Structure 1
Amino acid sequence: MTQTYFELGEIDNRLAELGLDERRLAEIVRRGYVAFASCTPNDPPLYPGFSAWASMVRGLREYLLPVWDRSDENNYSLVINPAGTVAIAVATGDDGTGRRDATPTTKSSKGPSTVEAVTTNQLQLDLPFVFPPVEAQARPASGEKQRMTWILLVHRARGEVRCELSLPSSMGIDGRVDRWQERIILKAIPTDSEVMEITPPQPTLPDITIDVKRRA
């Protein structure tokens, strides 16, 4: 059974228990949107999404470090609280993200580091194991057995960015996270109805007057 927080007071209280603040998380998500919207058709196709993700990871770290710590072990970018009991990753979600009437999944299949994190969550929550095929499974490292990994899940929709901080508890056979023990639904962030191409400003050259005289 998923515990969903969507009322303002309960959202603030649950985030405070984790050492977090909704306003700061919203700023991080907004940074990701700006990075995405600032891209142009001249960028490689995968860059806008990657740029948004990287901006949010950086923003999360700038918000929480140096009190929290960062980890990029196996290229899985996390921030980890001082006690080592809470970690946060960033991922893109599907249309169900940020909606209390839907159950979201991650937009894309995830790799062994996410499988390992969800495995550890299940061990901590004493849940039955639900995973992708055996060959994709990973067992948690002993030093991480007390860690619960949350995901800042973000979805860009028309006119808004929806987001939530949620605790994954299972993955489907397609490798997507598809079930959550807790969901903290954050306020949607209004945006333009359409992502507009932004052209970087061009440098303005000073006006130069050149006198042209006929040679004698």
Structure 2
Amino acid sequence: MWAETVGELRTQLLNLNQDWKIGQTNNYETSYHSGRRIAIAVVGGDGNTGVTGFNPPKTAKRRGPITARRIKRNVIGQMPFNLPEFVDPPEDDEQCVTWFYLLKARKEVMYSELSLPVSLGADSRIDQWAVRIILPHVGFTGVAITPVDLDGDDDEPPQIHVDRK
């Protein structure tokens, strides 16, 4: 699901024809716009994703050192003095503020939000957000996945046709 979501996000942003690019610095997958200094990474969220409430969402899984550096940049911005981690000039996507497109599927509904992370908790999951933009929910009810074998040829792998009921 993650790879398909990253691919679709990139397709949608590239189709806008507004200088969105694909970022893959250190295998950290983003879509970014260097002029606007915005990068978007796709991440799974917990049960609080896409809803307002007392508890903010957390990432579903622990995040690593690259995410920690991105969050640090979100908080302190680009420092004008040299820090050891910035010896080499950062790639274009690393110079952006990194937003997370959080997703969580629950009970045949996909919940999502676009949020700006500012803190990693003790469990290495993002637990604080400067901004949360809750997106409309998408329902999965009525979606059917049916194999289609048009010519009855058993030597070929089956084709899968996905459509709404």
TM-score by length of 1: 0.59
RMSD (Å), alpha carbons:
2.7
Following TM superposition, by how much is the alpha carbon of 1:116 offset from its aligned partner in structure 2, in angstroms? 1.1
Following TM superposition, by how much is the alpha carbon of 1:80 offset from its aligned partner in structure 2, in angstroms? 0.9
Higher helix share: 1
Equivalences for 1:1-216 in 2 at 5 Å?
A: 52-65=1-14, 67-83=19-35, 85-101=37-53, 102-124=55-77, 139=85, 142-143=89-90, 146-192=95-141, 198-205=145-152
Secondary structure at 2:6 match in 1: helix
Following TM superposition, by how much is the alpha carbon of 1:111 offset from its aligned partner in structure 2, in angstroms? 1.4
| Contact kept in structure 2, 1:84 and 1:146, CA below 8 Å | no
Structure 1 segments, 4+ long, off by >6 Å, are none
Residues in 2 aligned to 1:200 and 1:139: alpha-carbon distance in whole angstroms: 51
Match of 1:42 in 2: none
Residues in 1 aligned to 2:47 and 2:68: alpha-carbon distance in whole angstroms: 22
Residues in 2 aligned to 1:183 and 1:174: alpha-carbon distance in whole angstroms: 21
| Contact kept in structure 2, 1:166 and 1:184, CA below 8 Å | yes
Match of 1:12 in 2: none
| Contact kept in structure 1, 2:34 and 2:96, CA below 8 Å | no
Amino acid of the structure 2 residue aligned with 1:87: A
Residues in 2 aligned to 1:188 and 1:64: alpha-carbon distance in whole angstroms: 20
Q: Which one is further off, 153-162 or 65-74?
A: 65-74
Change (3 A) 1:178 1:142: farther
Amino acid of the structure 1 residue aligned with 2:138: I
Following TM superposition, by how much is the alpha carbon of 1:82 offset from its aligned partner in structure 2, in angstroms? 3.5
Following TM superposition, by how much is the alpha carbon of 1:56 offset from its aligned partner in structure 2, in angstroms? 1.1
Amino acid of the structure 1 residue aligned with 2:44: T
Percent of aligned positions that are identical: 35
Amino acid of the structure 2 residue aligned with 1:113: I
Residues in 2 aligned to 1:74 and 1:84: alpha-carbon distance in whole angstroms: 21
| Contact kept in structure 2, 1:71 and 1:80, CA below 8 Å | yes
Residues in 2 aligned to 1:116 and 1:84: alpha-carbon distance in whole angstroms: 20
Unaligned runs of 5+ in 1: 1-51, 126-137, 207-216
Aligned residues: 142
Residues in 1 aligned to 2:149 and 2:64: alpha-carbon distance in whole angstroms: 41
Residues in 2 aligned to 1:99 and 1:146: alpha-carbon distance in whole angstroms: 30
Larger RCO: Structure 1 or Structure 2 (Cα < 8 Å, ≥ 6 residues apart)? 1
TM-score by length of 2: 0.75
Residues in 2 aligned to 1:205 and 1:95: alpha-carbon distance in whole angstroms: 43
Return the index of the structure with the highest Cα Rg.
1
